[in-house]
Amino acid sequence: MVEDATIDFLIVGAGFSGLVAGERLSSAGFKCVVVDQRSHLGGNAYDSADRGGVLIHHYGPHYFRSNSQRIVDYLSKFTEWHPVSYQIKSFTDGRFWSFPINLNTFEELIGRPSSTGEFENWLKEKRVPFDKPKNSEEVILSQVGHELYERFFEGYTIKQWKHHPRDLDPSLCARIPIRTNRDDRYLREEFQALPKDGYTAMFERMVEASPDLELHLGVDFEEAKARWNYRHLVFTGPIDGYFGRRFGALPYRSLRFEHEGFSADELRAREAISGKVGFWQPAMQVNYPDPEVPFTRIVEIKHATGQQIGASAITREYPRDWNPELEPYYPVPREEASLLYRRYAELAGREASTSFIGRLATYRYYNMDQVTGMALTEAEKLIARYGSTENAQA
Ligand SMILES: Cc1cc2nc3c(=O)[nH]c(=O)nc-3n(C[C@H](O)[C@H](O)[C@H](O)COP(=O)(O)OP(=O)(O)OC[C@H]3O[C@@H](n4cnc5c(N)ncnc54)[C@H](O)[C@@H]3O)c2cc1C
């Protein structure tokens, strides 16, 4: 094949980490090939319009947020932004609740207006003291006590991870804010926005702007190794897979996504529930913590994208056990998994001509901005190591 030739960098994975690294390296004058075994770019952030024309996130909702101006500035070269204040609710006991926990949630619980002072006093009585919370259960009990923990966190976490919160890292539940004022924003970061035309459009512009980058979809690492000779490999797939799972498979949690579209006419029947014309539910995301409901959440991303369209779509998310036939969505935040990962990371450290970046190659629950930052930093190191032929300022 004519294209099969010697290149500088082979990059495995066309998600955030692979494409950011590829754009930077090719802008520095290196010849790069990015491959992905999937038939589309964007990794788990991939979005596209459904049959009704509604932009949907195929692998679960991707709420972009960041506290890093450097990362926002970099991505802004490829997209404008649609600012969003991400809002969610929880559905249990037959009703919607304001969530994450805030003063409105407390008022819904006691059934009358209240104040920050009253809520703080109530929490003082309920909190279970722990010197240093050792797991996710202790993190939440130490902040809100049993009643709110059992209502909103326990069932949801067991469903999501198939492990009790007391068996999961404290960092997992510490991600969720708990507030005594009326601030009901889901996330804490300063910059919260979605790419104006979607993630896929942003990635396509990134590829177009890359002077010497070839993208090959539907090509896996094994095939790529046989097709290209490369000086350096950037690997963004699962680290245990790279090493043939020689110490055993790292545990992942997988998901099944069920998308359903609705016409403007169909949505009319939901107005009493959603409270809005053209929407199926009252918020972008509704959590279902009850154990008897088989899904964890329903997402209607149109609330966040701001797309002006009569139709809408929802996605139900069903957690499931992972096996090598399924996508490895979440690394499992447990001590034994971290220990196994460290054995693979030690092997990775000995591979002088391979960089392991991104969420799967570092087995960490990183957000999109964090893997972007990681890819920018790794690209800088590689440019310094192999010498740049052009100026590549991020
Ligand atoms: C359900 C869900 C919801 C999320 N929500 C958010 C959110 O709201 N906000 C946020 O910031 N982050 C969120 N994330 C995290 C976000 O998806 C990641 O931070 C980001 O996509 C990681 O990018 P990546 O390039 O490292 O990995 P990925 O996006 O996983 O890309 C890796 C790519 O490598 C390819 N690949 C793997 N192995 C091989 C191989 N052997 N050969 C060829 N190709 C291979 C895969 O097909 C994949 O496309 C969410 C993740 C999930 C699963």
Residue 165 is assigned to a structural domain of this protein? yes
Among residues 33, 7, 39, 5, which one has the least CA distance to residue 18? 33
Residue 146 is assigned to a structural domain of this protein? yes
Residue 253 is assigned to a structural domain of this protein? no
CA distance linking residue 102 with residue 120, whole number of Å? 11
Predicted structure pTM score: 0.93
Taking only the tens of pLDDT, the chain with its 394 residues reads 345 579 999 999 999 999 999 999 999 999 999 999 999 999 999 999 999 999 999 999 999 999 999 999 999 999 999 999 999 999 999 999 999 999 999 999 999 999 999 999 999 999 999 989 999 999 999 999 999 999 999 999 999 999 999 999 898 888 788 999 999 999 989 999 999 999 999 999 999 999 899 999 999 999 999 999 999 999 999 999 999 999 999 999 999 999 999 999 999 999 999 999 999 999 999 999 999 999 999 999 999 999 999 999 999 999 999 988 899 998 888 889 999 999 999 999 999 999 999 999 999 989 999 999 999 999 999 999 998 665 444 4
Residue 140 is assigned to a structural domain of this protein? yes
CA distance linking residue 93 with residue 102, whole number of Å? 18
317 CA: nearest ligand 1 atom: 1
38 CA: nearest ligand 1 atom: 47
Residue written as token pair 């139709």: 311
CA distance linking residue 380 with residue 390, whole number of Å? 13
Which residues are paired to 10 by β-bridges? 33, 233
Considering its fold, how many domains does the chain have in total?
1
Residue 186 is assigned to a structural domain of this protein? no
Q: Which domain holds residue 142?
A: 101-174
CA 391 / ligand 1 centre spacing (Å): 29
Residue 283 is assigned to a structural domain of this protein? no
Residue 63 is assigned to a structural domain of this protein? no
CA 14 / ligand 1 centre spacing (Å): 9
The residue type of 77 is K
Residue 46 is assigned to a structural domain of this protein? no
